[in-house]
Amino acid sequence: MMEEWKVNKNCRICSSNNLIKYFDFGKMPLVDSFIGAGEPGDLRVPLEVMFCQDCSLSQLSVVVNPKVLFSNYLYHSSVSKTFSEHCLSMAREVKGLLPGATAGVAERSLKALDIASNDGCLLKEFKKEGFEVIGVDPAENLCQIAGQSGVPSISGFWGMEAANEAMTRVGKLDVITATNVFAHVDDLHGFVDAVHHALADDGVFVIEFPYLGNLLRYHEFDTIYHEHLSYFLVKPLLTLFSRHRMHIANLQEFEHMHGGTLRVYVVKDGNTMIATNKGIIQYYLQMEEREGWHTLQPYLRLEEHAQRIRKKTVETLQDLRSRGKNIVAYGASAKGNTFVNYCCFDKEHLQVVVDDTPHKQGKLYAGTRIPVVARDWLLREKPDYVLILPWNFAKEIMAKNEEFRAQGGKFMVAIPEMKIV
């Protein structure tokens, strides 16, 4: 039988066993899995975050088998317009960085590979910029969708095998991207080895992940769930890449993406084609130091913030319900399900979760078993209040539902603080 999860005892970057637990959710369901009609009960696994006192990497105490998590993945990147626009600007910016993209070297076609390419959302944009593209994703259903929009994909997890297959198909890569997947990887060293192997010597590896500094600052405790094995600061990443003859050349922060995303440009040592911005790396290291994020103390306060937000949310919902108001949620996101499970909500508290992803509709939210429905439900049933779970997309979701608002519907957001918008 397939092992469903295993315990993580050593830091996945520096191997230290000096790991201190700072947030304990107890046993939680796999928040990004959706239950179909008649499907069996939900798997519950301990969810605890630990801080490595040696390299400052935050990480979960368990690793759920990635085959359980990702083989049939319902998260479709293209559903969010904000994210699609982000992909377009990323393709343009990365192209501008590459020596091969400047005049005179145009004869050579540039090659881009995206790890966890999902429905091809990012590679579509690289293709428009003239790149030859190839995706790698473990979800068969998503590779098919990507293929339909002209993005060829290798179905599987990233590693030496996928790297070799990609190189057989397109050759060495000028760009390898990994957006919102680095935190999902257990064997980070194997992952980076395979990147080093497939990347051209003057190429660039671009990763994006939600920055741990923002999680701490804005109490984004709901972004903690089994898929996110690691929570990154800049400091542990420097340690990681230095062990693979690579280094960080530049950094950029996007405040509006997933509550504050960090984009990190990584190159092989000796690659002088892409200039290193030492100033910005220093700036981030000093800020992390100043905020105390390389020590345990600020982490210990996160659970207090989470408890306070939970209390306020539970009270607000109780108050509204006692006044006969109907409340639903919007955005069947993974983070949203961490939140509703943490608050112990069920259908009595939140009648349904509205989501625009057709594949999630008609299913049940894991753990809480709240039904996921399409948007027309809102206009038909006219609930009084809508709690937006993906606070990162609150603007986009409210703009989309202007008609509901015009009819008197109200929106709420719980993070960083519970409020009626």
Where do contacts with ligand JHZ occur on this chain (CB under 6 A)?
32, 75, 79-80, 180, 210, 227, 258, 331-335, 355-357, 390, 392-393, 396-397, 400
Residue type, position 398, single letter: M
Partner in contact with 390, chosen from Zn ion, ligand JHZ, none, beta carbon below 5 to 8 Å by kind: ligand JHZ
Residue type, position 239, single letter: T
Q: Interface with Zn ion includes 282 (CB under 5 A)?
A: no
* 171-200 per-residue burial string, b: 16 or more CB within 10 A, e: under 16: eebbbbbbbbbbbbbbebeebbbbbbebbb
| Minimum CB–partner distance for residue 337 and ligand JHZ (Å) | 8
Nearest residue (CB) to Zn ion, 157 versus 284: 284
Partner in contact with 320, chosen from Zn ion, ligand JHZ, none, beta carbon below 5 to 8 Å by kind: none
Q: Interface with Zn ion includes 238 (CB under 5 A)?
A: no
What angle, rounded to 10 degrees, do the helices at 188-198 and 234-242 form?
A: 60
Partner in contact with 346, chosen from Zn ion, ligand JHZ, none, beta carbon below 5 to 8 Å by kind: none
DSSP class of residue 60 equals: E
Rounded CA-CA distance 210/215 in Å is 8
| Minimum CB–partner distance for residue 56 and ligand JHZ (Å) | 21
Q: Interface with Zn ion includes 295 (CB under 5 A)?
A: no
- State both tokens at 328: 């639903």
Partner in contact with 77, chosen from ligand JHZ, Zn ion, none, beta carbon below 5 to 8 Å by kind: none
- Residues 143, 119: contact at Cβ < 8 Å? no
Q: Interface with Zn ion includes 52 (CB under 5 A)?
A: yes
Rounded CA-CA distance 12/233 in Å is 14
Nearest residue (CB) to ligand JHZ, 8 versus 230: 230
CA distances from 348 to 340, 352, 385, 389 (A): 12, 9, 14, 17
Rounded CA-CA distance 194/210 in Å is 23
Number of residues that bind Zn ion (CB under 5 A): 8
- Residues 65, 2: contact at Cβ < 8 Å? yes
Partner in contact with 54, chosen from Zn ion, ligand JHZ, none, beta carbon below 5 to 8 Å by kind: Zn ion
| Minimum CB–partner distance for residue 260 and ligand JHZ (Å) | 11
| Minimum CB–partner distance for residue 367 and ligand JHZ (Å) | 14
| Minimum CB–partner distance for residue 5 and Zn ion (Å) | 21
Q: Which of 8, 11, 75, 361 binds Zn ion (CB under 5 A)?
A: 11
Q: Of all helices (H) and strands (E), which one includes residue 23?
A: strand 19-29
Nearest residue (CB) to Zn ion, 60 versus 143: 60
Q: Which of 48, 54, 129, 165 binds Zn ion (CB under 5 A)?
A: 54
Q: Of all helices (H) and strands (E), which one includes residue 307?
A: helix 302-322
47: number of Cβ within 10 Å:
25
Nearest residue (CB) to Zn ion, 11 versus 266: 11
Residue 377 CB partners (closer than 8 Å, separation 6+): 328, 352, 354
Q: Interface with Zn ion includes 267 (CB under 5 A)?
A: no
| Minimum CB–partner distance for residue 297 and ligand JHZ (Å) | 27
Instruction: Beginning with the edge strand found earlier in the chain, give each strand of the sheet holding 58-60 in spatial order.
Output: 19-29, 44-52, 58-60, 230-231
Nearest residue (CB) to ligand JHZ, 69 versus 112: 69
Region for residue 120 given its phi and psi (left: phi exceeds 0; alpha: psi -120 to 50; beta: otherwise)? left
Contact positions with Zn ion (CB under 5 A) in 13-32? 13-14, 16
Q: Interface with Zn ion includes 233 (CB under 5 A)?
A: no
Nearest residue (CB) to Zn ion, 16 versus 307: 16
Partner in contact with 87, chosen from Zn ion, ligand JHZ, none, beta carbon below 5 to 8 Å by kind: none
Nearest residue (CB) to Zn ion, 57 versus 194: 57
Q: Which of 31, 49, 50, 55 binds Zn ion (CB under 5 A)?
A: 55
41: number of Cβ within 10 Å:
10
| Minimum CB–partner distance for residue 240 and Zn ion (Å) | 9
Q: In a 10 Å sphere around its CB, with 0-12 CB exposed, 13-18 middle and 19+ buried, how is residue 150 labelled?
A: exposed
Pick the stretch among 4-12, 120-128, 155-163, 250-258 that binds Zn ion (CB under 5 A): 4-12
- State both tokens at 343: 């608050």
| Minimum CB–partner distance for residue 185 and Zn ion (Å) | 15
Q: Both ends of the chain: CA-CA distance in Å?
A: 48
Strand partners, 84: none
Nearest residue (CB) to ligand JHZ, 111 versus 258: 258
Q: What angle do CA 308, 313, 315 make, to 5 degrees?
A: 95
Residues that bind Zn ion (CB under 5 A): 11, 13-14, 16, 52, 54-55, 57
